[in-house]
Structure formats: structure tokens, C-alpha cells
Chain A
């Protein structure tokens, strides 16, 4: 299957990416060539093969539910684009 302009716009929206209208055709071309590359997989019979998520089939390690971190709010917010009184500032979301 092949992606058209509206598919690319929809994917960009899902990924929260602003794409210039002038660039959509070139993204659509390169995404289509990548998808035709990955479609080579479809010819392979994988019935009954267990998907591999971790190369050593490890499972999530758990730890005791204890406080281990100290408060570093100021250090961590020093790199934020906009903060006020220890909070991250974003545009108004509720009218």
C-alpha cells in the first residue's frame, strides 16, 4: 500500500510534528520507499514464532518501593524553556 499526502499529514499529526506543506511530497516519497523496503517481511512465514522484545528474554527488574532520589528541582528546571515558582509554563489550555 502507498501513502498519499493526507496519510502523511495524519501521521505527522499523530507524531505531533509540524511539516511544511512544501515538504509533504518528499516525505511521502521517502516513507513509501521505506515501507516498500519493510514490506519484504510480509513474504516470510512467521506463524508460531514468538516475538522477541528483549535479546536475552529478560523481564522487568523490580526494586523496593523506597525513596532513593533527592529533590533536584532547581537543577533540573534550569534547562527548561519557561518556569515560574517551580512549575513548567505552557500556553493556556483551559479558556
Chain B
């Protein structure tokens, strides 16, 4: 049963094969039995889940059930959940019981979903390996010596191990797409502003975007239907009409124009990853697409620009953690400055402190023009490259990551080598564009992800393309050895 997709489980509920309560109990039992291997959950919310399942069963009996009614999901632990610890995987918020729900949490709750718990991640979403979590790293179900990616590593690991049929994630520089690629699942980063940021613990506000992670594109569309939409509580929420993200899944791909950026297939790309991505592109040609080489000349500059903009915004956002209003407070502060400095010094982990310092430096007097302003100019150049290419082709395809999953500890002592893993994903956040990672093969027994990049608000098209690929291939159905379903 645990190999079923969200869409298949929805049919089972509809037919009455099982109730939401039975489904929820089964997943809770599975998490309790197996998650010690993966450390993908920070908090399991058994009591609330069973109450939500009971309510969903009652709603269904009364004839009030929507597409997601009674389906279990889990949230990345940076989405505020009322009455439940929301830690952002930081000691700073280890004691934080959120007094309110994030907009996406309340929307998914209103749609009838059951929340199994809160998922592991890099501390404050800062990382590409899940190793910066205060609760220890989540592990990759394909090889538990390997990282699941990050920052939404717990979300990806939990879906890959079939501990939840779907999860929410957030993506500031690749944090949905990279772990989805490394764990062999599907993950969508929507256009900036499509999904509300309200109640999502902020990292870099001009880059942060929430999105769905699941086995299939169809499942991602079902969840996005509930997550997306204008929210007056988010000052950068896009004021656009809602759409049904599952409506165009079955459109044929004949005539689709795909661009392959030559910069994405450089020598730095792992040969096994390159081969699988090329095979995937060939599959699209069989489905009627045409392929041409394109150029995104400023691709390499996305790393330096991102690693100024994101830390700068983070240093500003994380100034709210002051040991006064909520979160960790140091013992026996002698004065206010000591309270601030020790609460922050003791409450934040190494990578978070590092990024706060990079940001504080980049924004300090005398350096603003050389760093922040320069990075924002490069950001526009990167965006203009994308816009020009997307005027010529329908979508851009390439690898989601330059390598498959790496070993725990392999890159944790060298932050710059870790940052390089984000080369193909960061640029979309800088430009605000949507992207989806789809399992497209394996190399040395580890999954490879194909990234599909579309124009602004082209989520339906991306889901359509990914779904058609998943109708023709079965990479998304592969289950890690050792994961019993």
C-alpha cells in the first residue's frame, strides 16, 4: 500500500477501501517503525493526525470531501503549525510552539489533509545536505551513508522511504529540487509569489518559495492546487487568479520546444548524470518535442550573486531572534548586549552564523555597492538571459544537480564546495522562475534528477511535461533497496 501515490490513495478513500483513520494509523506506525534509519521527522503529531483523520472521515461520510480529503502529508519544519513545535531545525526554536498556522498549513488543513508531522531540514533552510540540522542529519533512503540533499532533506527522504505520500518543502536556492533529485522524487518550486510565504520562517525573502514534493507530478499538482493563491498576509504574494494545476496534465507534448543550455553540460558535470539527462531528453523527442542548444552565459555568476543576496537577506531576517520575544534565551545575561550576543551565539549553529556574518559584512558601510548592489545587477542579467531563451523555446531542461547524492561529511568542512552543488538551481530563485525536478535515471545506484524550467507562472505546463514523462517512464516508481512497501 505504501507505494501508492497520493492520487491512488485518494481513489482508495473514495472507493472505501480504507478510511482516512486507517490510512493515517498505517503511516504513523510505519514512521515509528522505520524512521530511526532516516531521521526524516523532527516531530510526529500522532494525536492531531488521528483527530484530523477522524474529521476527514466524518466529512466524507457527510458528502463534503474534496480532492485531498483524508490524505496524509507532512510539513517541512519551517512552516508554522499552531500548537506544534516549529523548530526550523534550530536550537534557537527548539522550544517554539507556534501560536498560529502558516497560510499553506491552514489551506492544506482546510482541504482536509492529515498532518503526520514535521520534517527535518538544514537549520533555517541553510544548506544542501541536511547536515546543519540541530536534530542531526536526515539520511538518503537510497544509501543511508549519503545525504538526502537540502535544505528540504527530511521531506525528500520521507517521501522516498514512503513514510508519507507527499510533503511540503521550501526552496530558496534549490531546497526543493536538489533533495528531490538526490532522493528520486518529484519536487516543484513555483514562481516567486505563487505560494504564500506567510508563516514560513524566513531565510531570504526575495528568493523563498514553498512548493510540493511527492512521487509524481500529478500529486504535486494536487497539492499545489491547495497551496497556491493570493494571500493578503504576504506582501509579495502574486495577485493572480487560481488555476487547476491538474487540468493540463494529459496534454500531448507534440511540438514542444526544449532548450538545452550548453553551460549546463560542461566538464564539471558528472558523466553518469549527463548520460541520464541526455536519455531523458531523447525520451521527450520520442514524445514529439524538438530540442535545440541555447545559452545562459551568466550561469556561473549565479553562485557569487546568490551567496551575497541570500546571506544579506538572512542576516536581516534573522535579526528578529534576540532572546526577548520567543525562542532560545541564554542563562543569566548580565546586560542587554550580552543577552543578544549569547542567545544568538548559543542558539544558532555554525553555518547559520557564517551566513549571518557574510550578510552583515556585505551590507556594512562601505561595502554595499561592491557586494549587494553588484549582486542585484548580476541578478538582472541572469533574469534577462532566461527571459531571452524562454522567448525562443517553451522550456529549458538540464540536470538538477551536477552530481548524485554525496556522502555525509564529504563536503561539510568546506562550505564553498557545498555551495557549488547548487549551480543549476540557484539561478531560478534569482530570476523568480518556476522549476521542477523529475527522477530521470540512476547512476551507481543513486537517483538522477532532470530539471525543467519554465516561464513565469508556467507551473501547469511544467507539471504537464513532467506527467507525460512519467507516463512514458518509470523512474519515479523506483523504490530504494531496503525500503519495503
Contact = CB atoms under 8 A, between A and B. Distances in A.
A56 B456 contact: yes
Contact of A37 (B206, B303, B357, B430): B303
A46 B377 contact: yes
A40 to B, nearest CB: 5
Contacts of A19: 345, 353
Contacts of B193: 55-56, 58
A80 B334 contact: no
Contact of A34 (B327, B336, B416, B431): B416
Interface in A65-95: 72, 75-76, 78-82, 88, 90-93
A81 B322 CA distance: 11
Contacts of B339: 90-91
Contacts of B373: 51
Contacts of B416: 33-34, 37
A4 interface: no
A27 B358 contact: no
Given A34-B415, A81-B324, A91-B335, A52 B99 contact: no
Given A75-B99, A91-B334, A33 B376 contact: no
Given A46-B377, A52-B380, A56-B192, A31 B206 contact: no
Interface string B344-378: 11101000011011111110100000110111111
B382 to A, nearest CB: 9
A60 B206 CA distance: 13
Contacts of A56: 192-193, 238, 432, 456
B304 interface: yes
Interface string A1-35: 00100001001111111111000000100110111
B419 A37 contact: yes
Contacts of B356: 15, 17
A14 B469 CA distance: 51
B371 to A, nearest CB: 7
A39 B367 CA distance: 12
B236 A54 contact: yes
A49 B371 CA distance: 14
Contact of A31 (B301, B305, B361, B430): B361
A80 B326 contact: yes
Contacts of A82: 329
Contact of A91 (B236, B336, B354): B336
Contacts of A53: 206, 376
Given A41-B304, A80-B326, A90-B336, A55 B354 contact: no
- Chain A at the B interface: SS class: loop
Interface in B303-345: 303-305, 307-308, 315, 319, 322-329, 333-342, 344-345
B232 A63 contact: yes
Contacts of B371: 38, 41
Contacts of B337: 16
A92 B337 CA distance: 11
A56 B430 CA distance: 11
A81 B378 CA distance: 42
B178 interface: no
Contacts of A11: 357, 360-361, 364
B325 A30 contact: no
Contacts of B97: 78-79
B415 A33 contact: yes
A31 B357 contact: yes
Nearest to A13: B341
Contacts of B334: 91
Interface string B266-310: 000000000000000000000000000000001011011101100
Contacts of A46: 374, 377-378, 381
B96 interface: yes
Nearest to B365: A14
Given A18-B345, A44-B301, A81-B329, A27 B324 contact: no
B357 A52 contact: no
Contacts of B232: 63
Contacts of A20: 345
B21 interface: no
A75 B101 CA distance: 13
B139 interface: no
Contacts of B239: 61
A49 B381 contact: yes
Given A14-B364, A40-B300, A51-B380, 14 more contacts: A11-B360, A17-B345, A27-B353, A34-B419, A40-B303, A41-B378, A42-B370, A49-B381, A53-B206, A55-B431, A56-B192, A88-B325, A92-B335, A93-B335
22 contacts: A11-B361, A15-B353, A15-B356, A18-B342, A27-B357, A31-B354, A31-B357, A38-B304, A41-B305, A42-B374, A44-B378, A46-B381, A49-B377, A49-B380, A50-B380, A53-B376, A55-B206, A61-B235, A79-B96, A81-B323, A91-B335, A91-B338
A-B CB proximity, top 10 nearest: A55-B432, A18-B345, A51-B376, A81-B329, A46-B377, A52-B380, A18-B341, A15-B360, A49-B377, A38-B304
